[in-house]
Structure 1
Amino acid sequence: MDTIYGLIDYRGDIRSSKKCIFKKTTNSDEQIYVPKSIKGYKFIEGKYYVSKKTKNNNEYLFLEYLVNGVIDIYYYRDDKGDHYYVSKDNNILYELKNNERSVLIDDVTYIKENKEYIGTLKYLFKESPRIVKSVENIELKHKSLINITKDYHNEVCPDQICLVYEKSIAKVKNKFGLIVGLNMFSISDNNVTDDDYYFRNSNFNFSIAPSIGIYYKIHLPRLNEKLFF
């Protein structure tokens, strides 16, 4: 299929891995694309999603393309958390795993990370002993993976450009503010029922009372760029 341009309804990482809701114009009907129906979709100067078949659950997903180089980095999120994949020379797709297990020490249970992804990265970066040594300190996060992959690419393939598609996401933002207002009260006895007879002929004066408060708003762009609490 040829490339088409239009509007994409972006609703965060989880939904973006499952479907793409597209319109050619604001007045056009919505078209829903799933990973098996298109090769991918991209935002201008933003996120880039490609259709890939993942080995662990044997299904097609739109993976966010983070790095395009000698080694490619992909990402998606589901209800269980963040998932990263890598491939070398457009070959096998490896998942970067970090399973956890419970360890009992002196009757206290601790959670230990297995960090299987370190072994996978060492294997993929084996052409660079320097990079292999630095893998031990890598966290399974966007910034760490992008930086080490770019570093590896520039060392083993300096004549080719390493493309980074990741859109820069703002950090968590906290905002406080002051709310000031006026409350106006007015009661009429015109509609008083027989059950409320004791209100009849009462003196209900119009009154105004000031109110003051504070608000707190938090923005979580990594969870959803449009989500505020």
Structure 2
Amino acid sequence: MKANFCFYFIIFFCATLLSAQEFNQGFIVTQQYDTIDGLVKKQGDASSEKICIFKKFKNDNEVNYNPEQILSYGYKKGRVYISNQLGIELNRLEPSFIRVIVDGDVPLYYFQGQYAYRAPSKRLYLLLKADNFYQANISAVLVNNCYDLTGKIKSLELSDKSLADFFLSYHRCLNKTAQAYMSKKEVNTLDLSLGSGFGSFSVESANSSMEEFNHHAPSTSGLNLKIRFNKGSRKRISFTTSLSFLYYKGYQIDYSNETRAFETIFDYSSIRASLGAKYLIAYLSDNIKLNFHLGAGAGFSTFKNQERIIDEINGNNIFIRSETFEINNLEPIASASIILDYNIGLNSLFVEFNDSMAFGTLKDALSNTSRYKLNNVAIYLGMKLPLGR
């Protein structure tokens, strides 16, 4: 059963990966300034700056265009890229496509992780994050022409939306026309992942008659399946809703006592629902993001913990006493994760390192109440799927 499940997951995973090869309605502008409508392939930032993959109709063959072959390309409802042969002096050794965020008398660009704009003097300014220099830069060059924007400088951020709003406001202040080219809304995503992990389970019993028992279940291993919905995944902070399925199993036998052995058999399964928040820590490269995630919620668990004492009498193993905890329980959950996202075009792969804690109470056959704690560490491999494009 487990082997079949893993096989189907791998098939689904590969099929989803292939679905990343998606084309959206777009256009290219030739060297002769002719605009040709068609389909443009969705890619990550780094790939989009190097090549445009275009086809006129759905069943046509793909054609690759580099920045020396066309003047620009873009999507009907989204981003637009222009070739740096149009005079964008970024001192790059190789031809590239540069993303246009605002097109107007003072255009705003994005290239290799940096924003830049062309001032009325035609000089190109890079917007640097260090020491809020970008705010002083814009204030000195642009606000002198439009004092109504003074208040907006303090809240200005290095993001598409914040900068686009500011530059559009600048053009409106001077009664100039401008056009912003961005995705119409934040993209929500769905994470699908499969993981494996190790668990540490402990029971604290108030029943003094059970002191002979080892109330620490063995270290366990098992499978984790997680589905997580991310609200506004392009923001630095996004909110999440998760549904997880866990199954863990463990066994140990302790022979530390010369004449007595302690055997523990442990099974644990849980369905968990939680709310959380994900914070974008940093871009490790053009395609790799490092995120931190915190979550809290509740789980419905079923677990069985059987502990048996085995004595050796006349050379024979004899079960002296057996105690079994078996219960369905509602338990609070807390978790923390480090997530690495790797963009592969439209979708992205991710690796998640997760540590979660569950707490609860249970009763044995004699109605003795015990408290338990389950700590499990797991590694997930998954795919992030955009929703509502």
Counterpart Cα distance in 2 of 1:117 and 1:59: 26
Cα distance, 1:39 vs structure 2: 0.9
Counterpart Cα distance in 1 of 2:82 and 2:48: 11
Q: Which residue of 2 aligns with 1:4?
A: 36
Which amino acid letter does the alignment assign opposite residue 105 of structure 2?
A: V
Contact residue 42 and residue 346 of structure 2 kept, 8 A: no
Which amino acid letter does the alignment assign opposite residue 19 of structure 1?
A: I
Contact residue 72 and residue 90 of structure 1 kept, 8 A: no
User: Which one has a larger percent strand, Structure 1 or Structure 2?
Assistant: 2
Query: Partner of 2:95: helix, strand, or coil?
Result: strand
TM-score (norm 1): 0.65
Per-residue CA deviation, residues 5-48 of structure 1 (Å, 9 max, x unaligned), is 22211122221111111112233222111122211101112211
Q: Which residue of 2 aligns with 1:45?
A: 77
Which amino acid letter does the alignment assign opposite residue 126 of structure 2?
A: E
Q: Which residue of 2 aligns with 1:226?
A: 347
Q: Which contiguous aligned blocks of 4+ residues in structure 1 show a shift greater than 4 angstroms?
A: 178-181, 210-216
Select the residue among 85, 89, 101 that pairs with 1:66: 101
Contact residue 179 and residue 215 of structure 1 kept, 8 A: no
The alignment-based identity, stated in percent, is 25
Unaligned 5+ residue runs, structure 1? 99-112, 182-209
Q: Which residue of 2 aligns with 1:161?
A: 177
More RCO (CA 8 Å, sep 6+): 1
Counterpart Cα distance in 1 of 2:244 and 2:98: 42
RMSD value, Cα: 3.3
TM-score (norm 2): 0.40
Q: Which residue of 2 aligns with 1:187?
A: none
Whether 1:85 aligns to 2:116 is yes
Whether 1:30 aligns to 2:30 is no
Alignment of structure 1 residues 91-110 onto 2, 5 Å: 91-98=122-129
Query: Partner of 1:120: helix, strand, or coil?
Result: helix
Q: Size of the alignment, in residue pairs?
A: 180
Residues 114 and 59 of structure 1, relative CA distance in 2, 3 Å threshold: farther
Counterpart Cα distance in 2 of 1:91 and 1:129: 21
Counterpart Cα distance in 1 of 2:121 and 2:72: 16
Q: Which residue of 2 aligns with 1:149?
A: 167
